[in-house]
Structure formats: structure tokens, C-alpha cells
Chains A and B, each alone.
Chain A
Amino acid sequence: MSSGACVRVLPTSAGWRQVTSSCRRLPAGPSSDPRRGLSSPGSGTVNVFNREMKKRQKNWAASLQDSHQYDYLRDEVSSRVADRIYDVARTFPLALDIGAGKSHIAGHLSKEMVERLFLTDISEASLKQRKLSEIPTHCVLADEEFLPFKENTFDLVVSSLRWVVHVAILSQIHQVLKPDGVFIGAMVGGETLYELRCSLQLAETEREGGFSPHISPYTAVTDLGNLLGQAGFSMLTVDVDDVQVHYPGIMEVMTDLQGMGESNCAWNRRPLLHRDTVLAAAALYKGGGGDGSIPATFQILYMIGWKPHESQAKPAKRGSATVSFVDLSKIGQPSHSHQS
């Protein structure tokens, strides 16, 4: 087990010297330009979120006295991601957990699945509170959008519940994966928190005459395949899971989101929310249960993508079929000429 600081923790055996040197690519910290664009081959610059602000939010959330009571969603999603890792019948010598937080996934993994694990997160306070696991782990403090690892390093990259995904992050993941490596991750989908979004939108329109985005846009299921394909992954698997959590009221929804470290940090966010608007939104929040509780939907998208390799099954060439569809009707009957 190692401490949460960057670079110092990496072992100095010969095989890792390359990783240490590439750490110098890390952004310098508070002095770096916060408005730097994020560019990668094939996509334009993406600079929607204030990463500095997100780091402060995550650090604040991790240092709360009762921060563990906001972990329910991440724990649930992490156990399902670990299930998917278990389903892949391989042992991964080296794995990377992106945006690990308090390393929720590692608690569900066993030594047969993963032999060595790297955890990265933008927030040092979260890494310091990580749960213990039987797998040897190393912590790297890095922004997920600038991974300080060499290409073709990892057999497995996992991600537990990302709220923001774009092609740049996926391309980075694709780069650090070895050929025939796999990326298994979870992220929030387009329907997440739609009740909160709609009620705030209607309330703000009625009370103030216009509305500004308080909830960042999430990826739709249909777009996810495109994103993964653009980043270079093949043999994609995407499935959707709707988790509904019931809260006593709209304030509890927002307090819990803040406790999870998922407050809004987009550059275009409005810093003010009038109390009249909140009162109106509470009245407009739809779907109240009989006992006065309100539901909040989290649409979780699970994705599995592989880095291409020659050993992977490819679509057969046109014209190479040996059996005809016409023979389908003869399947039930015993036939001498049926080829196996």
C-alpha cells in the first residue's frame, strides 16, 4: 500500500522508469491556465467544466465527517462493474481505476481477477480515505483527462460512475490500454435526474422568466456507441440500468448530490438559485410517492470496449459462407447432408 502522492510512490525498478518520466507531463497545478482547451486527434477542443472547481468539490466532499453516507450510489454501481470484470474469464496483471474516489471497485475485486491496481483521482482527500483491499494498489494523483501513463501499459481499465465522459477521455484510455486490453466502465446517462432538471427549469421560467442550466447534459445511450467507436474501441457492449432513489424532498436530493462531490462545475453555471425558485421547484417535482417521498432517477450506462488485436474475432469475409439460410428450415429434421 502506498500514500496518495504522485510520482514518489512509483517503484523504481527498471520496468517503471518510463512511467516516472512521463509523469512530468502532468499540469503544474494552480498556476496552469484554467482555460486550457482539451484537444485530441479527431475531436475539437472541449472545455466545458472547471476542473479546478471539481477538485475542490471532491476534496470538500471527502473531508466531511459523514462522507460515507453519500457513497450508496457509487458502491452499488461499483459492485456491478466488478461483476462485469468477474464475467471476463481472465486474470489481469495490471489494472487502472480512473476517478477511483475512495476506491469503491477495489473492495469488490479479488486477486484472481486483478493482480495489481493503480488508482487515479483528481482529489487527494478521496484517495487518502480509500478502502483497503487484498490487491496491492498504487495511488496516482492526476486529472483523468491527462493520464500520466505510457501507451500500452494496462490490461484493464475500469471506471466507476463517471459523470462526465467525452472522446478525449476515451482516447486517453484507449492509448494506455494494451492491445487486447479491455475497458469496463459505468457512467450516467441522459435520463439521470430528469425530474430535478425539469422542475428547476419550469420553476425558473415561471418565477424568473428564463432558465439556465443547473444540471450538466449527460450522454444518451445511442451516442455512447459512437463515442466508444470514435475512440477506437471494438466489440462494444453497452447496457442500461435505471436506479431510482427516493428522497424526503428536493433539498435532500441536492444535498446528497453535493455530498457525492457532484455539484455543478460547468463554466456557464449560474452561481445563484433564488429561494423562491427552489420553493417553486419543490412544488413542481413530479412523481411523489404516497408517503411524501420523491424519486430521483439515475440512469447508469455500463460499457465494455476492447482495444483491437489480431486474436479477436472479426466479421467473416463476404462470400465465405458454407451454409445457406435456406437450410434453416431443415434444422429440426435429421439430414444426411447437413454440415456440422
Chain B
Amino acid sequence: MSGSNVWSRSREKIRLFSELFAQCSGEAAAYGKCVAATTTGRQELKKDMCAKEFEALKTCFTNAGKKRAK
């Protein structure tokens, strides 16, 4: 395999993941706290229980990606 192909592009994205993720530690912590709160309480963890926090995390992550691409 030579040149840029699907495999090398997705491996590159995987490698950049940690770098981009590190820029969103605040949102990640908030999401983590939300999920931890549901698991310790009476209620079970259900789908989209922390959707708001996750959306904030995802927006931060995609913005970090866009900024890097510039």
C-alpha cells in the first residue's frame, strides 16, 4: 500500500484523536460526572440521559478538529 488511502487516512484520524480530545477536557469531565451520577443513583442508565453534555463534548471535539485542519 502506498500513498494516501482509506486505511492510512483513518489511522491518521485515530492518531489525532487523543490530541483533539485533550482540548475538551472540561466538557469530557462534565459528561463523565453526569453519567457517574446516574449510575450511583436509584435509576438505571438509559439512552440519551446525558445527551446535553455529550452534545457539548461533540461540538467541542469537532471544532477542535476544524481548527486543526485550518
Please list the residues of chain A having a beta carbon within 8 angstroms of any beta carbon in chain B: 202, 205-209, 248-249, 251-252, 255, 276, 278-280, 282-284, 292
Contacts and interface: CB of A to CB of B under 8 A. Distances in A.
B7 to A, nearest CB: 12
* Contact count band on B: 20 to 34
Contact of A284 (B14, B18, B31, B48): B31
B15 interface: yes
A276 B21 CA distance: 12
Interface of B: 14-15, 17-18, 21-22, 27-29, 31-32, 35, 39, 45-50, 54, 57-58, 61
Contacts of A206: 35, 45-50, 54
A282 B54 contact: no
B68 to A, nearest CB: 16
B1 to A, nearest CB: 11
A270 B35 CA distance: 23
Contacts of B39: 202
A248 B21 CA distance: 11
B10 to A, nearest CB: 10
Given A206-B54, A207-B54, A283-B57, A292 B49 contact: no
19 contacts: A202-B45, A205-B45, A205-B47, A206-B35, A206-B45, A206-B46, A207-B47, A249-B21, A251-B15, A255-B14, A276-B58, A278-B17, A279-B58, A279-B61, A280-B31, A282-B28, A283-B28, A283-B57, A284-B35
A208 B31 contact: no
Given A207-B47, A208-B47, A283 B14 contact: no
Given A251-B18, A276-B54, A284 B32 contact: yes
Contacts of B14: 251, 255
Contacts of A249: 17-18, 21-22
Tell me which of A251, A276, A283 has the highest count of chain B C-beta atoms within 10 A of its own C-beta: A283
B31 A251 contact: no
Given A206-B54, A276-B58, A283-B57, 8 more contacts: A202-B35, A251-B15, A251-B18, A279-B21, A279-B61, A280-B31, A283-B27, A283-B31
Nearest to A208: B47
A278 B54 CA distance: 12
Contact of B46 (A209, A278, A280, A284): A209
B56 to A, nearest CB: 11
A206 B52 CA distance: 12
Contacts of A208: 47
B24 to A, nearest CB: 8
A259 to B, nearest CB: 12
